[in-house]
Amino acid sequence: MTERDTLHLSIRRVFDWRGSTGIEIQPQQTDLLVYAGTIREALADLEQLMDERQQDAFIRAYKQYHIEPPMSVEEKWHIDESLQTWVAENKGS
């Protein structure tokens, strides 16, 4: 049996801009971040963002999922408030 790499994936339920929830997946040690309605969709979207070499490694790797706590309502409010402030400050720029 050959040794395979382990891919560590952080998974979290988060709010979208409409207030619904979905799944956010981020491979640790990368800048990639994917949001989708289901884990299956998020994994497929993540694979599409990778180049051919990364896709091959992604398919072969053992996947270790790290389930993070879901986004709180307070965290969503903070993000919404930050976005509204940013829009107001950058209106007309």
DSSP the chain: -----EEEEEEEEEE-TTS-EEEEEEETTSS--EEESSHHHHHHHHHHTS-HHHHHHHHHSEEEEEEPPPPPHHHHHHHHHHHHHHHHHHTT-
Contact (CB, 8 A) for 63 and 9: yes
pTM: 0.73
Give 4-33 pLDDT, tens digit per residue: 789 899 999 999 888 899 999 999 888 889
Give 35-58 pLDDT, tens digit per residue: 999 999 999 999 898 888 888 888
Q: What is the pLDDT of residue 1?
A: 34
Contact (CB, 8 A) for 52 and 58: no
